[in-house]
Amino acid sequence: MSYATPSEIERLVYYMPSIAARAENDWSRSFAQSIVKQCRRRNWRPSPKQLSVMRGLVTDLFTQGSNEGGECDVIE
């Protein structure tokens, strides 16, 4: 799916600074910082490739965030 609603784009852009701060490599950090700068342009929309990468980075952010604590203790 390469089409994104304005609200999805806004949500993806919202997480780019967090992705830049937690990036495991220079490319991801640079990409996220670049998106933050580009989104300030009037009528800016990500290309289909940028959109795909943004979705992947945000998915990875939440996947990694849930695994950082290791196993969780179940409270009964």
Write the pLDDT tens digit of every residue in 8-60. 999 999 999 999 999 889 999 999 999 999 999 999 999 999 999 999 999 99
Is 44 in contact with 38 (CB distance < 8 Å)? yes
Q: Which residue has the higher pLDDT, 73 or 16?
A: 16
Q: 70 pLDDT exceeds 60?
A: no
CA distance 68 to 48: 30
Residue 68: predicted pLDDT: 54
Residue boundaries of the structural domains of the chain: 6-63
Is 36 in contact with 13 (CB distance < 8 Å)? yes
Residue 71 banded pLDDT, cuts 50, 70, 90: low
Total-model pTM:
0.78
Residue environment code for 37-47, b if the CB has 16+ CB neighbours within 10 A, otherwise e: eebeeeeeebe
Tokens at residue 14, please?
């919202």
